[in-house]
Amino acid sequence: MVAKITTPGSISRALNYNEKKVQEGKAVCLQAVNFLLDTDHLNFYQKLERFEKQIALNERAKTNTLHISLNFDPSEKLEKEKLISIAETYMQKIGFGEQPYLIYEHHDAGHPHIHIVTTNIKADGKRIDTFNIGRNQSTQARKEIEISFGLKKAEQQKQKLKEEIKPLNTQRIVYGKAETKRGITNVLDAVLNQFKYTSLAELNAVLKLYNIVADRGKEEGRIYKNRGLLYRVLDQQGNKIGVPIKASSIYSKPTLTFLENKFKENESLRQEHKKHLKTSIDWIMIMPKKGLEKFKEALQKERISLVVRQNEQGIIYGLTYIDFTTKCVFNGSDIGKEYSAKIILEKCGESQQLSLVSKNNISRNAKQNRSIQSEREPKLSANQHLVLGKVWEELVNPIEQYNNTPYQLRKRKKKKIIRSF
């Protein structure tokens, strides 16, 4: 079992997150503990009011909300009663047994897990100290619960993490084919079969983490036109180094045709894991991070790597998420509109602005264009400027002239006077 504790800025935010999941059919409220009414007879506002009244007893407390998630191994099938019992035991052991709290079971990930919403303000207005609660009380409670309920131990999951793929050590890569080929092959053997990617760009998002890139060459080049593929080693700055290795020369034959078959296969295989990624991002966004880097750091703690895609002007046009738990790669727009670069940047308070270098380049280009234009314009003398000025004046303010009008047309007809007698 893995326990995670966060402290949202407000109780309403944590409650809204879970209740929204209930409305969407992705969660169910299992139990309302230390509430006056049973779970089935409580609506959203009654739940919120119960918390707010107790929180109001201590207005000085900066931290007044705890949002806890208890995560279990995918192989564990836990009934409702057992989940409630685990949650109640956990809350008792961390010192929150007498507090009001709500237990939610979520169904939006590939593993069973529950969420608990509570407050650390007691009925007498005093505050429960939460300093190092995750490291101390929570860790002790987790270990005891794993034994008493026969759950998979968190340490077993940590052992799996040690078996991760190691990035290629570019310092050991020499400009010789054998060393380069051996290093590339070792990484490809692990990545190509473990990760679920659906395009060359998504695959490269993973490979670049291990200092490798799959390169088709320039579109007008011979390699691209012949559907060839090269694998290159990258240095720490992302520059290609060493000898390029042909895909067809590698033992496993990771050619473009091979990858395209993997793209089709992975498209269906990764769908069941989309929920896990969405849940992790939603969990982080309960308290939106200030800045993209903070968001990136929060994802790292959830074992998710964020690849930011930018153009030459420094404008971010896309985000790619690499979930190391499920070994799946998703572009933000493939998960949902709210996970796209535009929405995430807005939530993180980031504004799309050109970098200083880009601005200087644009300014320099504008000056050059003006200079070129002025060079192309013919230089006129003072008399020529005077003539042009008169022509312009006549065009703008035309004068009525009769010189070219025939006399017959200019002569006015006399009106006939009809006299009556």
Considering its fold, how many domains does the chain have in total?
Answer: 4
What's the pLDDT score for residue 100?
97
Last residue of a domain, one of 102, 131, 160: 160
pLDDT tens by residue, 153-171: 876 655 554 444 455 454 4
For residue 377, the model assigns a pLDDT of 47
Residues 302, 245 share a domain? no
| Shared domain check, 114 and 27 | yes
Q: Which amino acid is at 362?
A: I
Range of the domain at 234: 170-269
Residue 151 lies in a domain: yes
Which residues, at least 6 apart from 149, have a Cβ–Cβ distance to it below 8 Å?
82, 85, 86, 89
pTM score, whole prediction? 0.57
Do 239 and 333 belong to one domain? no
Question: What is the per-residue pLDDT across 298-314, written as a single tens digit (0 to 9) for each?
Answer: 999 889 999 998 888 88
- Looking at 195-255, list the stretches that DSSP marks H as alpha helix, in order from N- to C-terminal side: 200-207, 222-225
The residue type of 192 is: L
- Nearest CA to 99 among 147, 38, 41, 34? 34
Query: Is residue 381 in some structural domain?
Result: yes
pLDDT band at residue 27 under the 50/70/90 scheme: very high
Residue finishing a domain among 269, 294, 319:
269
Query: Which residue's entry shows tokens 């970098």?
Result: 355
pLDDT digits (tens, 9 = 90+) for 234-261: 888 888 888 889 999 887 889 999 999 9
Which of 160, 184, 199 is the last residue before a domain boundary?
A: 160
CB contact at 8 A, 115 and 77: no
8 Å CB contact between 22 and 16: no
Mean of pLDDT over the chain: 82
Q: Are residues 239 and 258 in the same domain?
A: yes
CB 146 within 8 A of CB 1: yes
Residues 155 and 231 in one domain: no
